[in-house]
Amino acid sequence: HLVGGASGRELTVRAEGDTFVTQQIVDPVTSRRLNCIPIHEVARMVNDLSHGVAGSVVGQDEDGASKKVVSLAGDFEDHKRYLQFGSFRIQFDDDGCNRGADIHRGLAAGPGKTSLNAPAGLATTGEKKGVPAAHASEDASVDPGFVDIDADPFKHILRIAGLLNRQRDAYVEAATSIREGRSLEGGTGSMTPIFLL
């Protein structure tokens, strides 16, 4: 506690930390419910932790109510594919949050065109989500909900590697902006899953 100068009265000081609120998003490909957080917020978490700033992560349920709160404290380790904090993990090589957010925000450009977070060459709207744009047709024999972007294991590895590079680049860009004192308003738009342990 502090004591005021001339008055001698006690002053109460309340230190506030940052609160990082997740958003629950459904991955349209796997139907998983994911707690998601923008990449620029992840960079803020790492910055806060490295400077000893208190904070917490709030996991929400599908109705937006707080479901779990974890402290931004403890150990931190960067494993490239994911960031491990004391009581949660940020996963960079999972695109479920971006796919769900694109649909939620209506960012897809239209039938046969790619969205901000879609792997290059994939249709993200229209009848054939996830099918290469060149093959997205009105063919009624293909199930409209069918997604087979990972049928070829080699293409799957390349897609995940590309995703990991994009997510890491967005994270590094946000961390650099924080260090240089630049605004992060809006960030990169990219999101990533956060797993509260």
Q: Which residues, 6 or more positions from 157, have their beta carbon under 8 angstroms from its beta carbon?
A: none
CA contacts within 13 A on the Cβ side of 66? 9
> How does pLDDT run across 13-23, given as a tens digit for each residue?
444 688 999 99
Cα distance between residue 101 and residue 116, in whole Å: 10
Percent of the chain with pLDDT over 70: 67
Count helices and strands (H / E) in the chain: 3, 11
Give this prediction's pTM.
0.68
> How does pLDDT run across 27-39, given as a tens digit for each residue?
999 999 999 999 9
> How does pLDDT run across 61-119, given as a tens digit for each residue?
878 888 899 998 888 999 999 999 988 999 999 999 999 988 877 754 444 433 444 44
CA distances from 192 to 55, 82, 126, 142, 149 (A): 19, 10, 24, 30, 19
